[in-house]
Amino acid sequence: MNCFQYSSNNKRYHTLDYFYKQKFGKKVCKISLNAGFTCPNKDGTKGFGGCIYCSKLGSGDFAGQKEKSLITQFNEIKEIMKKKWKDALYIGYFQANTNTYAETDILKQKYEPILKLENVVGLNIATRPDAITEDCLDYLEELSKRTYLTIELGLQTIHEKTTKLINRGHDLKCFDEMVKKLRDRNINVVVHIINGLPYETKEMMLETVEHINQLDIQGVKIHMLHIIKDTQLEKIFEKEKFHVLTKSEYIDIVIEQLERLRPEIIINRITGDPVKEDLIEPNWLLKKFCVLNDIDKEMVKRNSYQGKKVK
């Protein structure tokens, strides 16, 4: 018998798959889309070059091709999903770059057609805390009353020194304030964090999780830093050879992070999905299911579960 309340299998943490099945009664698939947005950290509004780890596709490496219409992108990916899950429901996932970084009328032109597609039950919108205007907030609030809406906010770390190193372009205060603004309007928030950022210690990564656990958030995505070709991070790594977490180090940190997260927080992701051809380090990330299985095994070994250390 599983000791964790938000699970129907061997998982000891609150998976997104479990949440969707409880909420919608069946499998829900996210369809990753590239709406052709840019980023305030690339176009000069906040900075140039973006975050040092960001790929040429704006961290949307598995999204559709921006040259194609959003409907075409959606249908092409949906057909692939249907081969495995014939009667699934769908969530449009605006993934690449900063997906609220435009006038509200443009956002409506992007979002609304996806919501009209058959069996679409919601939207996930990945963005930055410094790229949501008051007008946009008004629209998102209205949208959240019509569909299952989730705003994914990049944080990555709470530590100012690292934030400057990775060229993040906003501070923790900006992030915390946007979480509050979204939650004041009852909009779901998922936070992105990255383990293994250059020169961060295990203690620093745990502090990031302890901070977000105090916020009114509904989910978290835990990523492992991966160094990919043609990024500023690649240049820094080649020059400084900073430590890249081993698989065992990553598993240890993730488990301790899960123990510090409230059990109701939904774990949307617990490892990364690098493109093999672009990856420099760490190679162990390519075996995603091995990482997931090893996390499960180690949690059983430790008698660990999400929320174990929450006071």
- pLDDT of residue 64 exceeding 80, the answer is no
Considering the domain boundaries, does residue 307 fall inside one? Answer: no
Residue 143: give its domain's CATH number.
3.20.20.70
pLDDT digits (tens, 9 = 90+) for 99-149: 998 999 999 999 999 999 999 999 999 999 999 999 999 999 999 999 999
Q: What is the pTM of this model?
A: 0.93
pLDDT-based confidence at 24, cuts 50/70/90? very high
Whether 16 shows a pLDDT value over 90: the answer reads yes
Amino acid at 290: C
Evaluate whether residue 192 is within a structural domain: yes
Residue 128 lies in a domain: yes
Does 309 map to a domain?
no
- Residue whose pair of structure tokens reads 């603004």 in the numeric block: 181
The CB-side HSE value for 202 (13 A sphere, CA atoms) comes to 12
216 and 265 Cβ atoms separated by less than 8 Å: no
Q: Which two tokens stand for residue 156?
A: 């990555």
The answer to the question of residue 311 being in a domain is no
- Whether the Cβ atoms of residue 168 and residue 212 lie closer than 8 Å to each other: no
Q: How many domains does the chain have?
A: 1
Residue 16 near residue 267 (C-beta atoms within 8 A): yes
Where does the pLDDT of residue 48 fall: very low under 50, low under 70, confident under 90, or very high at 90 and above? confident
CA distance 43 to 51: 12
Give the mean model confidence (pLDDT) for residues 254-274. 95
- Checking DSSP bridges between strand 89-94 and strand 219-224, what pairing results, if any? unpaired
Count helices and strands in the chain by DSSP H and E runs: 10, 9
Contact 139, 108 (CB under 8 A): yes
Domain assignment present for 35: yes
Q: What is the pLDDT of residues 199-230, one digit of tens each?
A: 999 999 999 999 999 999 999 999 999 999 99
User: Is the predicted pLDDT of residue 62 greater than 90, yes or no?
Assistant: no
- Domain carrying residue 288: 16-302
22: DSSP letter: H
Q: Is 6 inside any structural domain? A: no
206 three-state secondary structure: helix
Q: Is 46 domain-assigned?
A: yes
What span, in angstroms and rounded, lies between the C-alpha atoms of 309 and 199? 25
pLDDT tier for residue 3 given thresholds of 50, 70 and 90: low
